Structures are given as structure tokens and as C-alpha cells.
Amino acid sequence: MGNYIIADNQELTSFALESLLKTNEQNRVLRAVNKAELLALLQKHGQAVVILDYTLFDFTNADSLLILSERFAMTSWVLLSDDLTESFLRKVIYASHAFSVVFKDLPLKAVRDAIDYATEGRRYVCQRATEMILAQQEEEARTPVLTTTEIEIVKAIAQGKTTKDIAAERFLSVHTVNTHRKNIFRKLGVNTAHEAIKYAFRAGWVDPSEFYI
């Protein structure tokens, strides 16, 4: 007999999962519609498989989910969702082997395989999730690395500050700031401050509220 907790507040999904799990009459299937109910069930049934749609639950962030998984170390997790971000997937999968990942629009066999793997204490990561993680890694590998000082200078430029302003604020010479600007342009493969700021904006180095141009 296996203990399964369906943590999904979409009734149709919950009904389908329960029907799938109850093909084995010995399985005990429980439901939770929010984090508080899930926590209460885990306290009673710590050795269980949780099938969770993270996007529909009231978790603050990935860290809060990881803390919960560490607290209930005997629990296996199947993340079943329509939409999970690359950064979330990478953080959760790299942090713990307790998490399997499958998307709701995949064939039923993929969902069943993910649940079976979790039941056996193994991890299942569907091909799409793997490809998403690899694509993000490749994108990051292509992104030039700026030093902390260079990023701060890009932010200052985005705020409309001149070379003299930046030099005065950072107690540097104008020549040193210009050298940093040249290095930034070279690393990013751009020719103007406007292009550098646009690149930094897309890369997430500059907050939108600081974007001047």
C-alpha cells in the first residue's frame, strides 16, 4: 500500500489523479488544496508521494518548498504543472533528488512513469524539463561575465550619470572609468552606452526602475 497526497486545487486534475492512483485498491489517496493542509497531512503521513502543482499553491518561493522537503525527508515529490520556470526547475532539481518533474500536457504514460519512479524512491525528470534546464545553461554560458565594478558602472550609466559623475562617486579618475567603459563594450560586443544598457537590461543586470534611456 502506498500513501499519496494530491496537492492540486484544480478539481479535474485531482479527480483524474485520484482515479489513476486508485487502480491499485491498496493505495491510500489524500488531498490538500493549500500549503497548510499539505503540512497537516505530511505530519500524519510523512512517508508519502506528494503530487504537487507548485504554481497553484501558496509557497513563497522554491526555498520554502525545499525546506518542507528537508523537513519530511521520507517524502517523494512529483512536480506536476502546466508552467514551471527554468530557474525554478534548476534550483529544485539540483538541490534535492526527492523531486520528479512532469508537465500536465504530456501523455498519461509520462505522468504514470513519474509517479511510479517516485513510489520506488527514484527521480523522473521529463525530457522537456531537461531541455529547459540545458537551454538556460547554454544561454548563461553565452552571456559575457562583467565584474561587480563593471555592472555598477552600467547601472550608473543607465541612471543617466556622466563619466565625471561616476568617477567622483567611486573616487576614481575619469581615465579609469573610461577604461571600464571600453572593457564593458568589448565584453558585450557593443559600441555605444545605449546598446550596453539595453544588453544589461535584457541580462537582468539593471533593474527596470533604473533604466534611464
Residue 170: strand, helix, or coil: coil
Q: Tens digit of pLDDT for each residue in 71-102?
A: 999 999 999 999 898 889 989 999 999 999 99
pLDDT at residue 36, as a whole number: 94
> What φ, ψ does residue 102 adopt, rounded to 5°?
-150, 150
Cell of 122: 527514484
In the block, residue with C-alpha cell 563594450: 185
pLDDT at residue 208, as a whole number: 62
pTM of the model: 0.69
Q: How far is CA 78 from the centre of its chain?
A: 15
Cell of 89: 526547475
Between CA 36 and CA 126 the distance in angstroms is: 28
On whether the CB atoms of residues 101 and 84 are closer than 8 A, the answer is yes
Question: What value does the mean pLDDT take over residues 53-65?
Answer: 92
Q: Tens digit of pLDDT for each residue in 103-147?
A: 999 999 999 999 999 999 999 999 999 999 888 777 767 767 788
Between CA 158 and CA 155 the distance in angstroms is: 5
* 44-58, 94-108, 123-137, 190-204: least confidently modelled range: 190-204
